[in-house]
Chain A
Amino acid sequence: GIQVEQSPPDLILQEGANSTLRCNFSDSVNNLQWFHQNPWGQLINLFYIPSGTKQNGRLSATTVATERYSLLYISSSQTTDSGVYFCAVTRDDKIIFGKGTRLHILP
């Protein structure tokens, strides 16, 4: 089956810093999503992005489907950005998650 790898596994940053999270996938996919799970466990959809670039405030994402990767950019980090960021790909209607990147923003 498709493998989804996220890097780095852990990231500790000072408030105000920028970060780039990466998601590599091993085969072609129908779509790709980024999620944020906050420290209280709530999962929030950030981007539905099978290809191209999208921006939402301080967050943006780029998926290069032909090269099988996606990047999530977080600019001017805030403590509320802490949590785990998951990438999930869909292939043949099945959804596969990466193991996530745990982000800790220090005040």
Chain B
Amino acid sequence: DSGVTQTPKHLITATGQRVTLRCSPRSGDLSVYWYQQSLDQGLQFLIQYYNGEERAKGNILERFSAQQFPDLHSELNLSSLELGDSALYFCASSSFYNEQFFGPGTRLTVL
């Protein structure tokens, strides 16, 4: 158990809908990272937050947004969903030394 929790574990929704994925980092970790893993794109870095502020942006679509709250949990919002957004979404957290600990992931299926 990495200490990083993600909810929900599975999510099935329809095209055009909006969903929110939640991540709670390990106790004491200030950084949260979001990743998308799909069969055709592989593992892609989406975005990083550090202590509530956006730190780095990767290949995150404009339809996606994220935030980190004062209690350090983070949410990834995916809107206007398309079939191609079906993927495994991972959250990771890290402390100052950047070793990342991953949550179990949320599997999103868009029908």
**Inter-chain contact A44/B102, CB cutoff 8 Å:** yes
From B44, B92, B99, B105, give the contact of A97 (CB < 8 A): B44
Given contacts A93-B56, A94-B56, A95-B58, contact A45 B100 (CB under 8 A): yes
Say if the beta carbon of B52 comes within 8 Å of chain A: no
Name the prevailing secondary structure of the A interface residues.
strand
**Inter-chain contact A97/B42, CB cutoff 8 Å:** yes
Total residues of chain B contacting the partner, CB 8 A = 22
B residues near A (Cβ < 8 Å) are 2, 33, 42-45, 48, 55-58, 88, 90, 92, 97-102, 104-105
A residues near B (Cβ < 8 Å) are 31, 33, 35, 41-45, 48, 86, 88, 90, 92-97, 99-100
Q: List 27 A-B contacts (CB under 8 A).
A: A31-B98, A33-B98, A33-B100, A35-B102, A41-B88, A41-B105, A44-B2, A44-B102, A45-B100, A48-B97, A48-B98, A88-B45, A90-B98, A92-B56, A93-B48, A93-B56, A94-B57, A94-B58, A95-B33, A95-B45, A95-B48, A95-B56, A95-B58, A96-B45, A97-B43, A99-B42, A100-B43
